[in-house]
Amino acid sequence: MTKNHSEKKTTHFGFTDVPLHEKASRVADVFHSVAGKYDLMNDLMSFGLHRLWKRFTIGQSGVRPGNSVLDLAGGTGDLTREFSRLVGKEGSVVLADINAKMLAHGRDRLIDQGIVDNVCFVQADAEQLPFPENYFDCITIAFGLRNVTDKMAALRSMYRVLKPGGKVLVLEFSKPVLPLLNSLYDTYSFKIIPKLGEWISGDAQSYQYLVESIRMHPDQATLKNMMEECEFEDVQFFNLTGGIVALHKGFKY
């Protein structure tokens, strides 16, 4: 029987095997480094497409006034901003991130935009969410699951705090479904993105990790199976931009 990462002494950090206990701190170092230029780099790397991917995610959320939403690994708060508008005065949104610098950046950005009344900010580990059972109507994690050491633990933690009838949405880079696109995407990822990182943020190494972490993330079908193993039901995924990104959706009944 193949052991999962939580039973191993090592795990992957990009293409490199590292001691299991080191991955979280190494990922933290990456996001401490890139936090200040995170939004700019997202726009440059995706040619602005990340905004459309997030808009699609919000559309699939079904969030409505009065709901309680967890924006996990919420970073600079793009999804939180829109969810705050959707849930209204009677609802609430928690912007959670394990990285203090990213969380502070997101908090400051939302406060500057006047978004404070129905949003709170929590530094939290996706594998051990500090919320009661059956608490949220909707949970999103956008471009964060691939950085989690134990993805199954994170999915189980999300399931625990989701209300019956609630929905989880996992937006993440995935596997292109067109051979030509796959080749072009590899060339762009490994040749261009680290150079952009060095040019914009002075940190090619962090963006090299981010590119590698995408390649190590489970493909669409594998992640669907993982979610089902964690008891999510009616799991389906939507390929966006030819499968470069996929949105997985599942329910708790």
Higher pLDDT, 222 or 102: 222
Higher pLDDT, 129 or 214: 129
Q: What local confidence, expressed as pLDDT, does residue 83 receive?
A: 98
206 pLDDT band, cuts 50/70/90, is confident
- Which spans in 22-145 are helix H? 23-34, 38-46, 49-61, 78-87, 100-112
Q: What local confidence, expressed as pLDDT, does residue 198 receive?
A: 79
Q: What local confidence, expressed as pLDDT, does residue 43 receive?
A: 72
**Would you say the C-alpha torsion 232, 248, 69, 149 has a positive or negative sign?**
positive
Q: What local confidence, expressed as pLDDT, does residue 5 receive?
A: 43
Distances (CA, A) of 186 to 19, 175, 181, 211: 27, 11, 8, 9
Cβ distance 124 to 96 under 8 Å? Answer: yes
Of 208-212, 226-230, 242-246, the poorest mean pLDDT is in 208-212
pTM (2 decimals)?
A: 0.84
Span 43-64, mean pLDDT?
91
Answer whether residue 35 shows pLDDT above 70: no
Q: What local confidence, expressed as pLDDT, does residue 97 receive?
A: 95
Of 16-20, 57-61, 152-156, 233-237, the poorest mean pLDDT is in 16-20
Answer whether residue 1 shows pLDDT above 50: no
User: Residues 19-33: pLDDT tens digits?
Assistant: 776 667 766 665 655
Quote the CA–CA distance of 158 and 205 in Å, as a whole number: 31
Q: Which two tokens stand for residue 64?
A: 């409505």
Distances (CA, A) of 206 to 32, 140, 202, 253: 10, 24, 10, 39
DSSP label at residue 98: S
User: Residues 163-177: pLDDT tens digits?
Assistant: 999 999 999 999 999
Length of the chain equals: 253
Q: What angle do CA 33, 37, 38 make, to 5 degrees?
A: 85
113 pLDDT band, cuts 50/70/90, is very high
Q: What local confidence, expressed as pLDDT, does residue 3 receive?
A: 44
Domains in the chain (CATH in brackets) are: 13-177+208-251 (3.40.50.150)
Burial per residue of 94-125, b for 16 or more beta-carbon CB atoms within 10 angstroms, e otherwise: bbbbbbebbbebbbebbeeeebeebbebeebb
Higher pLDDT, 151 or 180: 151
What's the whole-number average pLDDT of the chain? 87
Span 3-15, mean pLDDT?
60
103 pLDDT band, cuts 50/70/90, is very high
